[in-house]
Amino acid sequence: MKRKQDTSFRVETATELMPFLLSKLGGMTRTSVKQLLSQRRVTVNAGIQTRHDTPLKAGDKVQVLQGRGNVELRHPKLRIIYEDDALIVVEKKNGLLTVPYNPKSSEMTAYSILKDYVRKQSNRNTVHVVHRLDRETSGVLVFAKSAELQEYMRTYWKQLVTKRTYVAVVEGHLEKKEGTITTWLTEDPHTGMVYSSPKDDGGQKAVTHYKVIHATTIGEGDQDMPISLVELNLETGRTNQIRVHMQSIGHPVMGDRKYGHGNEYSPIDRLCLHAKVLEFIHPMTEKKVRFETSMPKEFRVDND
């Protein structure tokens, strides 16, 4: 008996993955389509997609794979949102390190979880860290499947990345609703603290563009505390850049124990910083790819 052939479709007009599949796979319900996605049986331009709201543009190739699909990663702290032969793009939850501080450490990290995942697919597969997020920062992370690709992406990261957008809840109400912070950052090799200077003092130039999405006040009476939800776009990607920049203008990120007041005034038990959007030129296809995750529900401060 012949194996059923994979089903391919070409996108004609911009849409999202769910309505596109529903229109092409006659009779399938939304639940059935979500099952296909969870089984990692849907690819867009040869990359596995698991999100039903993945945006599609004219010319994209969507394929539904026959069989049981690939090994699925199930972990409360890490979710794969895209995978192809070159890259794995994940959403990391807060509280999980990207890589261990000590190579000999047995602590669970995003790297160790993915290393185990690819080993189950093939003993020859490996993963390599392209960039990092702090332990308490959540959001989009990219891993390469070869050391050569890792080196290439790290070397040309600035040229490859076209957009990096974060969201954060910060202390206070900003005087300017949008603006740009430009300082020079220097990391203390002994403490790991990063210090900011408004003038070129030999440190690394760092540029952050910010925009206030919403401002409100939480608490009651003497405990009232003004807070703001802010969108931040990075022009540079320095260590702790956003956290240091927000501290430098008097509005540290809520829950920041290193550069702010920690959880002393925060009703949210975490660092309120999330890497929401990462857009870059795919090193193999040379096409622009964009990955976006939902803002954590605890960041929503617009329900007053």
Where a domain ends, among 109, 125, 155? 155
Residue 29 confidence (pLDDT) = 81
Whether 189 and 101 map to the same domain: the answer is no
Question: Mind listing the pLDDT tens digit of every residue in the chain (304 residues)?
Answer: 334 466 889 999 999 999 999 988 876 788 888 888 887 888 898 888 888 899 999 999 998 886 545 566 778 999 988 888 789 999 999 999 999 887 777 889 999 999 988 887 765 668 999 999 999 999 999 999 999 999 999 999 999 999 999 999 999 999 999 999 999 999 999 998 999 999 999 999 999 999 999 999 887 666 788 999 999 999 999 999 999 999 999 999 999 999 998 887 777 889 999 999 999 999 988 888 889 999 999 898 765 4
CB 37 within 8 A of CB 50: yes
Whether 270 and 223 map to the same domain: the answer is yes
In a domain, 303, yes or no: no
Residue 3 confidence (pLDDT) = 41
How far from each other are the two terminal CA atoms of the chain, in whole angstroms?
62
Mind telling me the catalytic residues?
134
| CATH at 167 | 3.30.2350.10
Q: What would the two tokens of residue 32 be?
A: 């059935």
Q: What would the two tokens of residue 293 be?
A: 């995750």
The helix (H) or strand (E) run that includes residue 193 is: none
Determine phi and psi for 243, rounding to 5 degrees. -60, -40
Whether 119 and 177 map to the same domain: the answer is no
Query: Dihedral of the CA atoms 275, 276, 279, 282 (nearest 10)?
Result: 70
Residue 123 confidence (pLDDT) = 59
Where a domain ends, among 70, 105, 126? 70
Domain count, the chain: 3
Q: What would the two tokens of residue 183 be?
A: 């300082």
Whether 141 and 93 map to the same domain: the answer is yes
Domain range enclosing 62: 1-70
CB 243 within 8 A of CB 272: no
Distance CA 12, CA 61 (A): 10
Residue 2 confidence (pLDDT) = 38
Distance CA 58, CA 50 (A): 20
